[in-house]
């Protein structure tokens, strides 16, 4: 059973949401009681739609007002936090009008609950682990006594040996509405790895550091291909883990279209491109890609991922080879670089990789 939310926090939530959408907001507990509302007349009322949303975990839409029972039109959005339905947010109004606020309300509520949890438990283990990992990521030193206490409480016996970092980035749209579910999946996966530390880094990132080689991440990447990207860093001593964190972040930035997991050790050209300044990168992209449209760039992505094979590219794009030849000729005329020439292809390929890494 989820822990009850303090009324003060519930009222803060409804007032915050009303300031954004300008509709009356109800905070409904899992028993269907309105425990906070921007309409004081509804406090402590039973809300059947909210109760059903809490029980089913589904959005409940009410399309008609019923003056006899006090039912009002609106959307009732269940709020999941740490794997449990903790409450329901009711937004009063024409459903088609307020529906656009439903997932935003869910996200804001979860953020406020998370913030409250951090305030109340700012000395708990999760917070301490977060502090350790963020210090490691930034290369800052960690107090030895504090580090020893955190490692002991997480079951890590020693910092000796080889360690490795991984960074997970969640798809923003999925992340907003299903944070609790993916949190549970990641936590379960990480905890099966043995000696490791992990944390959530706002707004859509998880950082994992583990002893020895990180295993099982390919399975996770395949199962949640549309949800997350994974970058895996170098193997380092514990004192040098900031290098592994940086390498993992670089790996994510270097993912090719269709990829969602990449090891730093598999990077080549990207290592050079990572050192290019923003100004130089902008100048290079302007020179090489400015005259190309998105269709040209998409074609080049497929062309290079097919090792410049006309046959394979045409098949992947469901395009006749003559049409592909015409499109490649047009890219040459527009950009001044011939994708079929090795030297020019290197220039264009580097530009595409740099464009991808600059996003």
pLDDT band at residue 118 under the 50/70/90 scheme = low
Given its phi and psi angles, is residue 188 left (phi above 0), alpha (psi -120 to 50 degrees) or beta? alpha
CA distances 11 to 72, 80, 104, Å, are 20, 18, 17
H or E, element range at 205: strand 205-211
Task: Name the CATH architecture for the domain at 7-120.
Answer: 2-Layer Sandwich (3.30)
pLDDT value at position 261? 94
pLDDT higher than 80, residue 42: yes
The 10s digit of each residue's pLDDT in 276-293 is: 888 999 999 999 999 999
Confidence (pLDDT) at 215: 81
Reply yes or no on whether the pLDDT at 122 is more than 50: no
Instruction: Give start and end residues of each alpha helix (H) in 87-124.
Output: 95-120
pLDDT of residue 323: 96
Q: Is 88 helix (H, G, I), strand (E, B) or coil?
A: strand
Sorted by where each begins, the domain ranges of the chain are: 7-120, 125-267, 278-358
Percentage of residues in the chain with pLDDT exceeding 90? Answer: 50
Q: Per residue in 148-158, pLDDT tens? A: 989 998 889 89
Cα(146)–Cα(132) distance, integer angstroms: 9
At the topology level, CATH places domain 125-267 in: Alpha-Beta Plaits (3.30.70)
Question: CB of 90 within 8 A of CB of 28?
Answer: yes
Supply 238's token pair. 């514990």
The predicted pLDDT at position 120 comes to 59
Q: Residue 319 pLDDT > 50, yes or no? A: yes
* Distance (Å, whole) CA 143 – CA 171: 34
Model confidence at 231: pLDDT above 80: yes
Asked whether the beta carbons of 32 and 45 are under 8 A apart, the reply is no
Average pLDDT over residues 38-59: 91
The answer to whether the CB of 207 falls within 8 A of the CB of 201 is yes
Sign of the four-CA dihedral 49, 53, 55, 58: positive
CATH number of 278-358: 1.10.10.2840
Mean pLDDT for the chain overall: 88
pLDDT digits (tens, 9 = 90+) for 161-206: 999 999 999 886 665 555 667 778 888 888 888 899 999 888 889 9
Output the pTM of the full model.
Answer: 0.55
Residue-level pLDDT at 1: 42
- Residue 221: how many CB atoms within 10 A of its CB? 19
């Amino acid at each position: 059973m989820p822990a009850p939310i303090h009324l003060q926090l519930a009222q803060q939530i409804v007032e915050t949401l009303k300031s954004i959408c300008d509709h009356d907001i109800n905070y409904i507990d899992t028993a269907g009681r309105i425990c906070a509302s921007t309409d004081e007349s509804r406090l402590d009322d039973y809300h059947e739609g909210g109760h059903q949303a809490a029980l089913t975990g589904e959005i409940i839409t009410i399309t008609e007002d019923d003056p006899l029972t006090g039912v009002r039109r609106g959307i009732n959005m269940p709020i999941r936090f740490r794997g449990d339905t903790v409450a329901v947010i009711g937004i009063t109004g024409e459903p088609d009008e307020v529906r656009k606020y439903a997932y935003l309300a869910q996200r804001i509520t979860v953020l406020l609950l998370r913030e409250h949890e951090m305030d109340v438990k700012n000395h708990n283990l999760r917070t301490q682990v977060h502090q350790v990992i963020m210090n490691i990521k930034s290369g800052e030193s960690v107090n030895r006594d504090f580090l020893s206490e955190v490692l002991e409480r997480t079951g890590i016996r020693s910092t000796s040996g080889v360690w490795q970092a991984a960074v997970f980035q969640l798809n923003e749209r999925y992340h907003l509405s299903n944070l609790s579910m993916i949190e549970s999946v990641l936590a379960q996966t990480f905890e099966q790895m043995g000696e490791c530390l992990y944390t959530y880094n706002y707004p859509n990132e998880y950082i994992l550091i583990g002893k020895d080689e990180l295993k099982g991440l390919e399975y996770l990447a395949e199962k949640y291909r549309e949800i997350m990207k994974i970058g895996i860093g170098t193997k380092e001593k514990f004192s040098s883990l900031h290098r592994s964190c940086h390498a993992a972040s670089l790996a994510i930035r270097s993912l090719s279209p269709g990829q969602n997991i990449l090891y730093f050790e598999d990077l080549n050209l990207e290592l050079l491109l990572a050192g290019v300044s923003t100004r130089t990168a902008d100048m290079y992209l302007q020179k090489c890609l400015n005259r190309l449209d998105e269709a040209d760039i998409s074609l080049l992505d497929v062309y290079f991922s097919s090792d410049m094979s006309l046959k394979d590219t045409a098949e992947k794009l469901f395009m006749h080879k003559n049409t592909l030849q015409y499109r490649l000729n047009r890219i040459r005329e527009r950009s001044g670089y011939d994708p079929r020439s090795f030297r020019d292809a290197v220039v264009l390929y580097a530009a595409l990789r740099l464009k991808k890494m600059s996003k």
